[in-house]
Amino acid sequence: MAVLPDSSFIHTLHHGERNLEEATEFIGHIKAGSDERPPLFSSDDWFYQKALLAHYGFDHTPPYAGRGRYPHPKRLPLPDLKYVQVQKKRDERGRLLEIKYAVVYGTLGEIEHVFENAERCKTINTVYVESRNGKFRKDDARLIRRTLCHSKKSVFHDAQANFTAQVMNYTRTNEGLKIPINPNAALFEQKYRHRTPAMAQNIIDKPLTVKELLLRRPQIIP
């Protein structure tokens, strides 16, 4: 899944195996659901380097040197593309030993500048995606490892995951997104305005109930 760190909004949820083909399709969905400008990507260490080039790159043919064969075109990243990998080293028991950062596209200074100007996410990490993954496994029995509640058909599995994602976006408030509206509130007075990720994205102005979510007409973007 792709999560917007400043709002914890699940931007894109893709169903598939962990391979380059699925990763390329996933990045295509992200691009189609945005303004198509290359944002800053941060992820763990798998497949995204080539998948990003497929959608946020261009073909460049080096000039002919005057001898030998003509050079083949090379796929290069767009100048604004920024991508950093979070590489975690674990021992044989799965305990975390070390975390390293690898800048794949862009420069370290450019990436650090983006994080410094962010509202919530001030350091390079993948904590927001991992948090959503943990909540998915807690709330959806189909995703628990070694369970009798596994999905018998992928269509039902995908539908349940899509529904859970929208419940997280529109109906459940996030403690990290609350805004103080009355710091000196007395007992039983409202001190904070609790927000859902969709409220933080200015998509809705109040948390929706599950019924309101199911009856909500999708917006048609011209």
Residue 162 CA to residue 147 CA, distance in Å, equals 20
Nearest-CA neighbor of 81 among 119, 45, 54?
54
Nearest-CA neighbor of 140 among 169, 167, 159, 161?
161
- Residue 83 reports pLDDT greater than 50: yes
Q: What is the mean pLDDT of residues 49-65?
A: 91
User: Are the C-beta atoms of 33 and 11 separated by less than 8 Å?
Assistant: yes
Q: What is the mean pLDDT of residues 24-29?
A: 93
| Residue 39 or residue 29, greater confidence | 29
- Residue 137 reports pLDDT greater than 90: no
pLDDT at 167: 93
Contacts of 23 (CB under 8 A, 6+ apart): 46, 47, 48, 51
Nearest-CA neighbor of 127 among 7, 38, 43?
43
Q: Over the stretch 100-122, which tens digit does the pLDDT of each residue have? A: 889 999 998 898 888 888 888 88
Q: Over the stretch 167-211, which tens digit does the pLDDT of each residue have? A: 999 999 999 899 999 988 888 888 999 999 999 999 999 999 999
pLDDT at 53: 92
